[in-house]
Chains A and B, each alone.
Chain A
């Protein structure tokens, strides 16, 4: 039983960043902009917010500090994503190359900043954010153990964001227009919707959620930031594709991929998996292999937006 709760608790820590970033990527792709720069945006958001944690750790701690870090991570992600939006919307540049530029820039910039500000590549910070037990809710049998003890409020935030995202994309005017811009931008353009604005919005949401995802990736799992998010941006891209760009499927695939990462990180502590003796690298590989297989089988029923990656010229036919 203890092992079971341990696995599930870990799974939440691994899945929430994947969920956030994949949802972000979804908004960008559904608006028509391919975004392979998720990894870079994660690193950038993590860098700025962890630097904030480091500088303020002597004057504040606990949930307030984490909340401020969340806001800073989100804002910095948005700012960084503007580079991608400008290149792909205004300049109609190649979106793959622009995304790759962000991926190359962010880790290098992060090491550069860390070395110059702190003299070393690794940024250490005090992790005072764990909630030992949520009052009342923590006493619920089973569920209380899994969700409401030794938890981080970012987990609840992540799940709340999922519901907001699903609602915004599917049930609001904004979401409908955003999706139209990704499918057939000429249509919204013809009725006076500003396609550029919606595509900017898509990319900026992806920046916000990726920046936040970067912080959420680092905080529950460690007390330092080493200028990398270990390929989670690309894994989130796999989650997004495996989830066919729809919120509900992304939700479930992020937990499935998160479970694989949990196995990879903790298999030696789990009796059942330890007896199997499969090395962690195979668990880490599995999500990518599964995604390739999924791509193969969904090739004809793929729900990828029709105009993904195609620049739009106003008044284009």
Chain B
């Protein structure tokens, strides 16, 4: 059996590093002195870095019934049935108030720990869910990019990081994690994020499994374990296993790396998830459960910089009043538990949570007492590190474009601000393609 030290060494150097450095350099790691190799493991286990939690409100959140411009008659004219009455909102100033389903976020606002960016959007907005989601996730308004804004952050600002630098709790890899080198990992449930084998002697089966899902690092490891048939065994291609070596990662190497990422992170994640049990109560909603998992990962000392969770159902074309309030209520209650949990851990100051949605909704209600796809909307930034208050101007409800409010703030400036001021990305150019003006959202 390999020791944990061996395991770490072979995974960190044999795999995690494999896609961040050219193959020939990677090879030399194999020849390094053991002590030096252990040193090389140290820098990436930093557990005190800042953390961003991205919370997607999928379906297009109705910004106008989230942050309600109750002081504007045009709001009530456009929404005779959907308009939130003054009694149903929590006033933030004499113009806007938060939907009454969000008492926690309102209190967070009053404490100065909630920033609300108003009128966020982008030029030539697209009303299609997936196109607009892609645009938000890739930060490319032409919707051509193959990589996501967070993936480019991992690639460009987190060299040598573990695959767990980004963890998504979505079923599929979020587009924003798309990367050339390190796309983070996807995870549904830590308990199931593992190879599930029903064999009687599970541990034994898993040992075989582990060996089969590990790159063949013996070829560049002097003290190879040839005497130990269970060690370092990998399924290399019988012929032509090294095709296209320098053209990029060959498919088999890629698969072996992902398999190893999955296996390594599975182990870490299972361990870490088991470490922390909070006394804070979470709801039973998927969002609350996922935020609970995020909190557990953070408490366990995961070196992850970005977590990604989703809250769906915001495509409220029909009878939206109750359903929208319910969704916001679930959001509010999940965040209440999440921040209470983080505070209890003493990690709250390390975390900023940002919501986003692909678009807002039409100003006027539709015939089915719902709202149709719109354009600009508002987003939340929560956490003690956030500069609380309202950012950007509330967009006009009378100066519209095709029935939609116009954006005042480009979402890429929000990203840019978070990337440089919170995630400490040294250079925005390779991540966002340009330097967007900063908004003063942090600190």
Do A and B associate with each other?
no
Hey, which bits of chain A sit against chain B, CB under 8 A? none
Hey, which bits of chain B sit against chain A, CB under 8 A? none
